[in-house]
Amino acid sequence: MNTIDCISNRHCYRGEYVVDEIPSRKDLTAIMEAGLSAPSGCNMQTTSLIAVDDRDIVKQIKSVIDPPIAQTAPAFICVLSQEIIAYRDKCYAVQDYAAAIENMLLTAVELGYQSCWYEGHITDKDRICDKIAKILNVPNEYNLVCILPIGKAKSEAKGPKKKDFKDRAWFNKFGE
């Protein structure tokens, strides 16, 4: 699959996964390496990752997610971020982990998996992220900002209808 096809075929997958097909460590490593290869503001490298493929730990993570999501996912990649000042009192952690996540989502599709970027659901007021971080022994200087379920999709991933190109992109001036 070429890059453009991979981008076109990547959609947030919220369906069921094939439970017995746990992604190989080789594939999880490739997905994480793609994430860590993403650009990083001032090369501060604020993003770290934990792949979870142990059935018991996956089950523990699922048990703290309320309302439940990704309950059939056989693996997760948990995205950690550190708030490190990079330049002129700016922290680029959000941009760093966003780039890393997109790289991982595209690589997952390339390898035949599906996923969904779950951030708001786990970082909301109920702080599910803190419960997951505790399960994973994440040190306090890291924030767990996102989880990516990783697995083979039971059904086809279909994306939402996007606005037309001409309604969102122009050349030289806005609206032209």
94-150 pLDDT per residue, tens: 999 999 999 999 999 999 999 999 998 888 989 999 999 999 999 999 999 999 999
What is the share, in percent, of the chain residues with pLDDT greater than 90? 72
pTM attached to this predicted model: 0.93
- The DSSP 8-state label assigned to residue 164 in this structure reads P
Sign of CA dihedral 50, 154, 12, 171: positive
Q: What is the pLDDT of residue 20?
A: 83
- Return d(Cα 53, Cα 150) in angstroms, integer: 9
Per-residue pLDDT for 1 more than 80? no
All domains of the chain in start order, with CATH: 12-154 (3.40.109.10)
pLDDT digits (tens, 9 = 90+) for 59-83: 999 999 999 999 999 999 999 999 9
How would residue 6 be classed by pLDDT, with cut points 50, 70 and 90? confident
Sign of CA dihedral 109, 116, 45, 56: negative
Q: What is the pLDDT of residue 11?
A: 86
How would residue 153 be classed by pLDDT, with cut points 50, 70 and 90? very high
User: Where are the alpha helices (H) located in 16-174, listed in sequence order?
Assistant: 25-36, 55-64, 93-110, 120-123, 128-135
Q: If we measure between CA atoms, which residue out of 144, 152, 129, 149 comes closest to residue 77?
A: 149
Q: What is the pLDDT of residue 172?
A: 94
Per-residue pLDDT for 10 more than 80? yes
Q: What is the pLDDT of residue 9?
A: 82
Q: What is the pLDDT of residue 136?
A: 97
Q: Which amino acid is at 106?
A: L
Q: What is the pLDDT of residue 86?
A: 85
**Residues 35/100, Cβ–Cβ less than 8 Å:** yes
pLDDT digits (tens, 9 = 90+) for 15-29: 999 988 899 999 999
- Return d(Cα 30, Cα 168) in angstroms, integer: 33
